[in-house]
Every structure is written in C-alpha cells, then in structure tokens.
A = this chain, B = another copy of it.
Amino acid sequence: VTPSGVITLTTDFGHRDPFVGVVKGAVLTRFAQARLIDLTHEISPHRPAEAGFWLARAYRYFPGGTVHVAVVDPGVGTARAILAVRASGHLFLAPDNGLLAPVVARAQPECVVRVDTAALARLGVEHASATFHGRDIFAPLAAELACGRIEPEALGAPLQVIVPGEIPEPEVGARELRGNIVTIDHFGNLITNIDAALLKRFSSFEVEAGGRTFASHRTYADAPAGEYLVLVNSFEVLEIARTQGSAAAGLSLSRGAPVVVRGHVV
C-alpha cells in the first residue's frame, strides 16, 4: 500500500473546543504535508460502536493508502490496547474497544497488531498524558504511517482476537431480518445496521418499527412530502426517512430501537 498522505479523523470530541485542532497540530509537527480530513467529530460521547459503524461504511470513498484514525475512547489512560490495522488497502488506528469490529468484519484485514510501548518509544512517542491519547499517541502514529516511515507490522505483535462491537449484527431468518437503529443523521433519518446485501434474498419487503409499517422506495423524492418511507441509502444500509422532513422528529424511535424486515420470496 502506497501511503496517500491523507489522514481521516473520527472522534467524539465535538467542535466546541480546540481538541481536534490540537490533534492536527500534533500530526503536522511530524508530517507537514499531511492532508487532514474530518470524517466526523460528533459521534455520541463514549459510543465507539457508532464510530465503527460509520467508518466501516465510509473508508472506501478515500484514496487507497489513507490512514483512518478513530478516537472514541472512554478507557483512555487504562490498560486498553491500541490497534493498528491494514485492510482493503487502507490503514486504521483506534482503541481496542469494539470500535474497529465492523471494519474488520467487512474489510479484508491483512494485518491486525496491538501497538506496544517499545514501538512507541522507538518513534519517540513518550510521556503521553493520561487523558488525551488522540493528541499524544494517535496523532504521531498516524503521521508516521501516513508519510510511510513505518508499517503497521512494525508497531507490535499480531492480535488474533479483538474486542467485539457493542451492537449485535442483525438476526437473519428465512423471511425476516431483525436489526436495530444505530444512528440518526443530521436530516433525522433513522439509520439501521441492516446491510443492503441482506435484502437481496427478498423479491419485496416491508419494514416494521415502533408499531408502524413502512413501504420501500428508491429515493426520498419518490414519496410525497411529509411521508415516511424506507430506502437503501447511499452507504448501502436500510434507513427510515421522511420526504422533506425529519423521521426522527416525527417518530418516537431512538438509537437501539428494533427494526424488523418482513420479506417476500416469489
């Protein structure tokens, strides 16, 4: 994998404070040519699963050789491991707290290592604070990987088993899929963990959630304004939406709510 020089950042740091800016400063101090792209900093605080969900669906839109750093890290300062992963031509750095489970499940992992302190010491990554590893450990590691001075293999020993994700994968039956709402986007779309690939077994289907049934459409504008619908969104997962409105504002469904797909097979 030739490094692209691009580093994406996914955190729960928000936009109010200088946390993200300072992470970028720490990257640029080691690798002045880095191209830093914000994936999102509005992950619900302390929800690694939400970060992993988005990262697993978003990474492939970046150039091969991109380093994706995800820091949603309630265990910062404890003995939790840090993972470096190479998969499908991309590199990933995150705490080993379930965040990378959806990436490892969907991409082809070639290399999964637990970053060790000897490797950090060789890179001069020392005296990290107890509470801000995004700046003190992830940023310098990302810089070194993104400029090609080091490979994930040199960061530690391979790990066979990583911490599993918090959100279970959907239950798949012959005529039924049972998943959950994992995140709600800016438009109020309720996004599930039901991948489009699972729907292909059905010739048609409807979706139940919160005691309501939703018909499936191709795009938002295929239903009249104000109407609820389900569609396979552009990240190839099922979502509950409302044409020119917010489904979240109109329905009392929140993160974790169960979603059932009832399929028909001709």
Minimal Cβ-Cβ distance residue in B for A36? B37
Contacting residues, chain B, for A14 (C-beta < 8 A): 185-187
Stretch at the interface among A56-64, A160-168, A258-266: A56-64
A129 and B234 in contact, given A22-B58, A219-B78, A220-B74 (Cβ under 8 angstroms): yes
CA of A136 to CA of B235 in the docked complex: distance in angstroms? 11
Q: Are B62 and A40 in contact (CB under 8 A)?
A: no
A86: Cβ under 8 A from any B Cβ: no
Q: Are A15 and B15 in contact (CB under 8 A)?
A: yes
Contacting residues, chain B, for A136 (C-beta < 8 A): 234
- Report A115-144 CB contacts with B as 1/0, cut-off 8 Å: 000000000000001111001100000000
Contacting residues, chain B, for A173 (C-beta < 8 A): none
Stretch at the interface among A23-31, A147-155, A199-207, A208-216: A23-31
Q: Are B58 and A21 in contact (CB under 8 A)?
A: yes
CA of A97 to CA of B19 in the docked complex: distance in angstroms? 24
Contacting residues, chain B, for A13 (C-beta < 8 A): 186
Minimal Cβ-Cβ distance residue in B for A30? B63
Query: Separation in Å of the A100 CB from the closest CB of chain B?
Result: 16
A231: Cβ under 8 A from any B Cβ: yes
CA of A231 to CA of B132 in the docked complex: distance in angstroms? 13
- Report A25-64 CB contacts with B as 1/0, cut-off 8 Å: 1101100100111111110011000000011001001110
Contacting residues, chain B, for A183 (C-beta < 8 A): 17
CA of A45 to CA of B225 in the docked complex: distance in angstroms? 13
A5: Cβ under 8 A from any B Cβ: yes
Query: Separation in Å of the A22 CB from the closest CB of chain B?
Result: 5
Query: Separation in Å of the A83 CB from the closest CB of chain B?
Result: 18
Q: Are B130 and A218 in contact (CB under 8 A)?
A: yes
A250: Cβ under 8 A from any B Cβ: no
Q: Are A41 and B15 in contact (CB under 8 A)?
A: yes
Query: Separation in Å of the A217 CB from the closest CB of chain B?
Result: 9
A76: Cβ under 8 A from any B Cβ: yes
CA of A131 to CA of B233 in the docked complex: distance in angstroms? 7
- 21 pairs, A vs B, C-beta closer than 8 Å: A4-B28, A5-B32, A6-B25, A6-B32, A15-B186, A16-B40, A17-B183, A18-B54, A18-B58, A19-B185, A21-B38, A22-B39, A24-B37, A26-B61, A28-B63, A29-B63, A45-B187, A77-B219, A131-B220, A131-B231, A136-B234
Which residues of A are interface residues toward B (Cβ below 8 A)? 4-6, 8, 10, 13-22, 24-26, 28-29, 32, 35-42, 45-46, 54-55, 58, 61-63, 66, 74-78, 129-132, 135-136, 183, 185-187, 218-222, 231, 233-234, 244, 246
